[in-house]
Structure 1
Amino acid sequence: MSINSAVRVLSCLLIGFLLTRPVGKKCLAQEEPGESPDSTQLAFNKKIKEAGSDSIKIMHTCYEFGVQLDENEEYERSIELFQTALRIAKNINDHKEAAKIANYLANQYAIIGNFSASNKAYLTALENAKETEDAGQIAKISMNLATNYNFTGDYDKAIQYGLYALKTKETANNPERICYHYVTLGNIFKETNNINKWEEYVLKAYKMKDVANCASFSDIAKIYNSLGGIAEQRNEFDKALSYYDTLHVLSTEHHFDQGISTALTNSADIYRQLNNIPKALELATEAEKYFGGNPYDEIFNNNFKSGLYQLTGEYSKALKLAEENIRKEEIEYYSTEKLKCLELLYELNVALHRYPEAFAWNDSLRVTENKLRDQEVRKSIEELETKYETEKKEQQIELLTTENELKNQRLRAGIVLLAVLLVVIVMILYILQIRRKQARLAQNDLQQKVLRSQMNPHFIFNVLGSIQNYIMGNDTKKAANYLAQFASLTRSTLEYSASESISLSDEIKMLANYMELEKMRKPGKFNFEIITSEELEADFIRIPPMMIQPFVENAIKHGLKNTEAKGLIQLSFHEKGNTLHIGITDNGVGINKAKELKDDGHRSMAMQIFDERCKLFFKKTKQHITKTITDISEETPEQQGTRIQIIIPVDTKL
């Protein structure tokens, strides 16, 4: 089928479809007596009929009415017309129109929160714009794509396309709306907490804002908003409020609702920091009048107001807003706001004593936080920005020396050799980076295993249950003491599990705390003793954290489990030369009997983790940690129990 034939078929189908296209809640094909059909719809149908089989006219008509529908905020209908126009532009290989239409289509997808489709449309627009070699269009589309990636937290791609857009503008010496590009790139650095780079690009925009064609009004509004944000970051609140007031006045004069809502919201945040919560709530509520259905504004404002209610102790109101936010599908596209929402959900559930929900939201928070705050992403952004500056300088040099380079064969050979060397160096660095990353993953995995082995759910909930019993028994003093001990143990476990080493005194304190909690759970079951030699300088000896606790737990859980006599656990610490000798002794049934009676695999898991950590210790220090486990009955038949001896090399470099 020829293109003209295809267009005629498409034209007929389009007219037939749109004649029955729903408008609001009613359909044109089902009008009620006395009602008038959509005038825009009728005008469109008339133009399509007039176009006949002229593909170019059909394309322009679809685009023209798509813009009208966008202005009427009928985004889904406008998307359908833009899609039709784009298909025609592609069929007739009109790259200029395809770039323009795809760029507008991408913007429509972004408005409704479909950033995946928006990115795809922007890439189509960029591909066609490159065919036209229109530097202004290429730069605009590339920066729009960078803005999308910035919204969704993909800062690596955001900086890549942002720098490409700016480079295209500067290379072509095209200053049209250059301020938009400077401000947008600055905002990407803002998201990575690089305040100096943010300010650098915003000040470039500020200097150019009054130059003809360098800025639209929306660009000027963004400049004042960014200046206010920078001042706020530096705690210059009066200065920040002045910038936001300027933004509010200018936006009101130009009937720019987005600027008004932004000025109000940001001013509200200043008053929050000044602890004027009523004023902050007043401004945040007023800002809602100017949102215009933008999902990002609604999500941001819900988070903000939720935080304000949290400060005033109105936790239920705050939680309602946070839960409303997390249910919004669009929140997946706004990474920073999703992170804030998860933090609120965790903190508010803790405040309302809804601990299972708090634990669940905390897990989601950590997963999202690790993904968004990865240090390698920030490093990559800095490297890309440096690469851009380097390439710009190299380009200036190349423009001055092009003729000489073409005549100088030796220089070209040297460049080729240098390129080869650079490739080799990059490959070596890449391999080293992969190895370091694998080592970090192994370390993180081991830390997680250690953490899980120390703070297993049974222990946590048993301790909480015991504390609850004291509370119900009106023994608030004991409940408070044990709650403080449990909080201290939890904090120590979380802190030490991520450390390579801790002082021996800290390890002993944590062990004592742990055994006190176990005594609370099993009153009258056992006592414990901690013996240290007088010459031992526990504050200056550093050892790998939490290596002893699994053995103590085994002694309580397995060694003392099946004995009728009151248990006793003894821990001893003394130094011999450059080694620390640690003894763990219990008067339980003994390791041999415990193996026969064991009912789970906790012991083997603890031993496995201990062995893995010993291997890691050897890789770092080239020294061995040794352990010896003895059933006391084998040495003294009339006694029973288990003795564990651990020898750790003392090294100040741990």
Structure 2
Amino acid sequence: MSSKKSVKIMLLKTGVNLCALATLLFGALSANALQSYQQDTARIEYETRISGATDSIDKLNAYFDYGMFLDAEGETENAITNLEVALQIAENSSNYKEMARVANSLAALYLMVGDLEVSTAIYKKALECAEKTEDNTEIAKISMNLAGNYSFNGDYNNAIKYGLYALKIKETTNNWVRICYHYMAMSNIFKETGNLEKRKQYVQRAYKMKDVEGCASVSDIAKIYNGLGGIAEHQFKHEEALAYYDTLKVFSEENGFTQGIGTALTNSSLIYIELKEYEKALEMVLEAEEYSNGTPYDTVFSNNCKIEIYWALNQPQKALELAIENISKEEMTYYSAERLKCLQFLYELNFVLGHYSDAYNWNDSLHVYQEYLRDEDVRSTIEDLETKYQTEKKEQQIELLTTENLLRRRVMQAAIVIVIILVLLVALILYILRIRRKQAKYIQNELQQQVLRSQMNPHFIFNVLGSIQNFMLANDSKKAAGYLSQFASLTRATLEYSSEDTISLSDELNMLKNYIELERMRFQNKFDYQIDYDENLELDFIKIPPMMIQPFIENAIKHGLKKRNEGGLLKLQIADKTDWIEFVIEDNGEGMPKMTTKPKGHKSMAMKIFEKRRKLIQQKNNKDFEYRIQNLKDLNQNHSGVRIIINIPVLNE
């Protein structure tokens, strides 16, 4: 039966008056025509304002208002164009207040289209301008927006830094306007780092303030209900979480907040995935997409939900295709949490489908990214910063109360007594602060050295284990066992010596031999190596800092010998120079086009760590610690490769 015939029968059965229906349809068309006419009229009015503006402020406001109108109409690209013109006008007139206002809105639009890098740069410019105006409300708002960008990208140190900066301004000035927005932004940062307790604290603060006039907008209250649902979900309280998401949906419907409706539906779908009600979960995700603003983040997040559902519905190929499409999106670079989730899907789906090579590659990418996002030092720094802020705030409150009481008690005393007390108090505080600064600096140096010594390249670990696995799959158990033993020895030595200030030269050489042998295995023996030193050298009695040579050996193999198919040679010569041990590392790779005595520009993480350790050891022991790099082709056109000379101080007592 045709659709037209079906409609006609339905109308007849329900007794609908066709004339009345025609009248309704005509009315709807008329309403649409009226809306279109009003939009066109508004555009003409904005364009007339722009052309008729008599001064820079009028023209700036005209472009800004037109841009915000276009954004409301869904024309984000055109809105960006108009706001950029408004920003240029503000810059030309050095109007920092307007520069801050326009740049803040412009950065938000760039975030909507998925260009997080440009958005962050513009937020920084907005913050600089706001700080020049000393407008605390604007400074706090922009700083928290900037914190949100850094949180999106997984840069949690900067996220917490700018978030606490914004919060400190609001609380110290008793500015409670939209304070709930700031509390919820902080809770989201701690959500990303996995700190449930801190996340819960900030959500509860926002919840207590949500009904206070001016403390929360509609979107802020929606975020509070969403945050409460997220905490309940994390605690596996599924019914409680669904109740909060239902409250969020009803609240958003009552206030015409479509984004909140979509968020409630999407998060509810995640609960139904946990409850294994996959059909219902898929239904809710698809319904949520109807309320989406179409931002890149909404698309990425929704796709990840559908990937998990399709997989659960035994459609792994469909899930894999959607995961590949999702990870290929340019904007995915900026959404750290969703990117991590998508990498996990790609690894597991490829493994299930038997694509073991692809699974191995995605697993490698997954572990590298996990190492970056879940770094314990980063999380510790974030929590320490927040704890320090809370402590300082309490100390400021205590100090304020103490000062008030002191003034009450001393109000009748002579001025000279007050001056003497204040001078002594200031002197005591300065003295204590000076002592604490010295202690903190010393402890910081000690801790930093321990942290720097505890590095081990995860990429190297994954590749070695992968190579050993290949020997096992090839039934070459003898080689697999031998290399596994070397790897265990290297790992054990690394863990043992990382906490030591010094180790013997003999132990250092054993570690290097194990490391080089493992690298030769990875590169299928494409290079040989030789270690030369004087037989009279007392290897067991010479003490040096541990693990200083390995980064240079790694670079020689990775950048010098990797591209050679055969005939590669790595040389290590060791000589006793009384106060230091001279290590000469030489490879016959292709070398580097240009070389100076000190490397400039980009450095690997291992080389940055070496440089920091070198300076700390030099400072602590008051001994020279030098190295230099020579491009062999610069010395002799017939030679190729790189020579590195390192003078490591002997640290025997």
TM range (shorter): 0.5 to 0.7
Q: Deviations over 1:205-237 (max 9, x none)?
A: 111111111111111111111101101111111
Q: Are positions 1:56 and 2:70 aligned together? A: no
Q: Which amino acid aligns with 2:452?
A: Q
Which residue in 1 is equivalent to 2:47?
Answer: 45
Distance change (3 Å), C-alpha of 1:495 and 1:226: farther
Does the 8 Å CA contact 2:364/2:462 hold for their aligned counterparts? no
The offset of 1:70, in angstroms, is: 1.0
Q: 1: CA distance between counterparts of 2:486 and 2:236?
A: 35
The offset of 1:164, in angstroms, is: 1.5
Which residue in 1 is equivalent to 2:447?
Answer: 433
Which residue in 2 is equivalent to 1:106?
Answer: 107
Q: Are positions 1:384 and 2:385 aligned together? A: yes
Distance change (3 Å), C-alpha of 1:368 and 1:452: closer
Does the 8 Å CA contact 1:322/1:344 hold for their aligned counterparts? yes
Does the 8 Å CA contact 2:472/2:480 hold for their aligned counterparts? no
Q: Are positions 1:420 and 2:434 aligned together? A: yes
Does the 8 Å CA contact 1:209/1:220 hold for their aligned counterparts? yes
Q: Are positions 1:204 and 2:205 aligned together? A: yes
The offset of 1:38, in angstroms, is: 6.0
Which residue in 2 is equivalent to 1:409?
Answer: 423
Q: 1:153 aligns to what SS in structure 2?
A: coil
Structure 2-normalised TM-score? Answer: 0.64
Q: 2: CA distance between counterparts of 1:489 and 1:269?
A: 47
Does the 8 Å CA contact 1:199/1:230 hold for their aligned counterparts? yes
Q: 1: CA distance between counterparts of 2:311 and 2:483?
A: 25
Of stretches 341-350 and 158-167 in structure 1, the one that deviates more from structure 2 is 158-167
Does the 8 Å CA contact 1:450/1:497 hold for their aligned counterparts? no
Distance change (3 Å), C-alpha of 1:432 and 1:283: same
User: Where do 1:4-153 residues align within 5 Å?
Assistant: 41-52=43-54, 54-153=55-154
Which residue in 1 is equivalent to 2:315?
Answer: 314
Q: Deviations over 1:441-500 (max 9, x none)?
A: 2xx14x8767755652xx644654679xxxxxxxxxxxxxx9xx9999999999998667
Which residue in 1 is equivalent to 2:364?
Answer: 363
Q: 1: CA distance between counterparts of 2:397 and 2:441?
A: 28
Q: 1: CA distance between counterparts of 2:454 and 2:298?
A: 38
Does the 8 Å CA contact 2:487/2:514 hold for their aligned counterparts? no
Q: 2: CA distance between counterparts of 1:186 and 1:94?
A: 34
**Structure 2 alignment gaps of length 5 or more:** 1-36, 408-417, 496-510, 526-565, 573-653
User: Where do 1:212-611 residues align within 5 Å?
Assistant: 212-400=213-401, 401=403, 408-441=422-455, 444-445=456-457, 455-456=466-467, 460-461=469-470, 463-464=472-473
Q: 2: CA distance between counterparts of 1:87 and 1:172?
A: 32
Q: 2: CA distance between counterparts of 1:270 and 1:496?
A: 46
Distance change (3 Å), C-alpha of 1:111 and 1:603: closer
Q: 2:304 aligns to what SS in structure 1?
A: helix
Q: 1: CA distance between counterparts of 2:254 and 2:489?
A: 57
Does the 8 Å CA contact 1:454/1:493 hold for their aligned counterparts? no
Q: 2: CA distance between counterparts of 1:222 and 1:494?
A: 49
Q: 2: CA distance between counterparts of 1:281 and 1:495?
A: 47
Does the 8 Å CA contact 1:268/1:284 hold for their aligned counterparts? yes
Q: 1: CA distance between counterparts of 2:95 and 2:420?
A: 37
Residues paired across the two proteins, number: 466
Q: 1: CA distance between counterparts of 2:483 and 2:114?
A: 40
Distance change (3 Å), C-alpha of 1:490 and 1:268: farther
Q: 2:236 aligns to what SS in structure 1?
A: coil
Does the 8 Å CA contact 2:226/2:264 hold for their aligned counterparts? yes
**Structure 1 alignment gaps of length 5 or more:** 1-34, 468-481, 503-543, 559-598, 606-654
The offset of 1:390, in angstroms, is: 2.0
Distance change (3 Å), C-alpha of 1:244 and 1:50: same
The offset of 1:36, in angstroms, is: 13
Distance change (3 Å), C-alpha of 1:37 and 1:63: closer
The offset of 1:421, in angstroms, is: 2.3
Q: Deviations over 1:73-98 (max 9, x none)?
A: 22222122212212222333333222
The offset of 1:408, in angstroms, is: 2.0
Q: Which amino acid aligns with 2:385?
A: L
Of stretches 370-379 and 171-180 in structure 1, the one that deviates more from structure 2 is 171-180
The offset of 1:547, in angstroms, is: 8.3
Which residue in 2 is equivalent to 1:470?
Answer: none
Which residue in 2 is equivalent to 1:579?
Answer: none
The offset of 1:367, in angstroms, is: 1.4
Distance change (3 Å), C-alpha of 1:406 and 1:362: farther
Q: Deviations over 1:564-604 (max 9, x none)?
A: xxxxxxxxxxxxxxxxxxxxxxxxxxxxxxxxxxx999999
Q: Deviations over 1:287-340 (max 9, x none)?
A: 111112111111111112111222233110110110010110111110011011
Does the 8 Å CA contact 2:486/2:514 hold for their aligned counterparts? no
Does the 8 Å CA contact 1:163/1:388 hold for their aligned counterparts? yes
The offset of 1:72, in angstroms, is: 1.3
Q: Deviations over 1:398-430 (max 9, x none)?
A: 445398689622322222222322332232223
Matched-pair identity in % = 45
User: Where do 1:623-634 residues align within 5 Å?
Assistant: none
The offset of 1:381, in angstroms, is: 0.7
Distance change (3 Å), C-alpha of 1:493 and 1:198: farther
Q: Which amino acid aligns with 2:427?
A: A
Does the 8 Å CA contact 1:182/1:201 hold for their aligned counterparts? yes
Does the 8 Å CA contact 2:50/2:59 hold for their aligned counterparts? yes
Does the 8 Å CA contact 2:200/2:231 hold for their aligned counterparts? yes
Of stretches 390-399 and 333-342 in structure 1, the one that deviates more from structure 2 is 390-399
Q: Which amino acid aligns with 2:344?
A: E
Q: 1:408 aligns to what SS in structure 2?
A: helix
Q: 1:291 aligns to what SS in structure 2?
A: coil
Distance change (3 Å), C-alpha of 1:427 and 1:210: same
Distance change (3 Å), C-alpha of 1:174 and 1:297: same
Q: Which amino acid aligns with 1:162?
A: G
**Bigger CA radius of gyration:** 1
Distance change (3 Å), C-alpha of 1:145 and 1:237: same
